[in-house]
Amino acid sequence: MSAADRPTERPPEQAAVVRATSEPSTTRRSIPDPRTTAIDDTAPVLPAVPADRLHPDALRARFRHPPIWTPEFIDDRWRLGPETPRPAAVLVPLVPRPQGLSVMLTVRTAHLSAHAGQIAFPGGRTEREDGSAVSTALRETEEEIGLARAHVEVLGQMPTYTTGTGFIVTPVVGLVDPDHRLEPDANEVAEIFEVPLGFLMDPANHQRRLHRWSDGLERSFLAMPWTRPDDGREFFVWGVTAAMLRNLYRYVAV
């Protein structure tokens, strides 16, 4: 069992927080617009990951020799109700660019039943024939954005994350050939873009936000808004995707 698989206990101040003044129903409750939620600026800012740890060789070495560490976010189980989560996997694609590694992300189409219009990693639910989380992540990525598995060097896996929509998701981290060709499925993916890994591995760019519902329920979550330099467009990375990126930060920062 690797260090990443060992049972861990999260410090209360690091966990996603949900509180209620009574007993309101929480099943499938969503935040209407996460951009409008209040920012909590009281949490101490952690140091950025040094640049020399964000090179492909350094990441290969880290996954070959995992540290003893504590995942900061592991679930949205409070929103599940009685359902049994189903297995799924996503690919965390790291693309070598002249200016450094970048993270490939997708914008989900607006008509999807789950997480419509949100920013996500490519991936999806596990099928019986997959055999492993890696196989699921690579198959779903190829189906979703047309990235052939031959263009992905798998580095390793991160701890699972249980989503409020009923999935236990395994993030699979991989290096992507920068000369890859993409053919996104227009039914699922509205857009594909890349964010510098250095930006995402700097907690100064991580926002803790808090949403309150009218019946007293509260939910805190992470957001990592990024503005594309070319056109000034903001991409609001939050929720499960931000939580997995925060865990990646913890993993490489140790």
Q: Which amino acid is at 145?
A: I
Question: Structural domain boundaries of the chain?
Answer: 69-253
CATH of 69-253, one of 1.10.1740.10, 3.40.50.150, 3.90.79.10, 3.30.70.20: 3.90.79.10
Count of residues for the chain? 254
Distance between CA atoms of residues 161 and 73, nearest Å: 7
Q: Let me know: does 69 contact 249? Beta carbons within 8 Å.
A: no
> The pTM is what?
0.87
Q: Let me know: does 197 contact 94? Beta carbons within 8 Å.
A: yes
> What is the sign of the dihedral through the CA atoms of 63, 104, 124 and 138?
negative
**Per-residue confidence of the chain (254 residues) as pLDDT tens digits?**
333 333 333 333 333 443 333 344 445 577 888 999 999 888 888 999 999 999 999 999 999 999 999 999 998 766 656 678 899 999 999 999 999 999 999 998 864 444 446 899 999 999 999 999 999 999 999 999 999 999 999 999 999 999 888 899 999 999 999 999 999 999 989 999 999 999 999 999 999 998 888 888 888 899 999 999 999 999 999 999 999 999 999 999 99
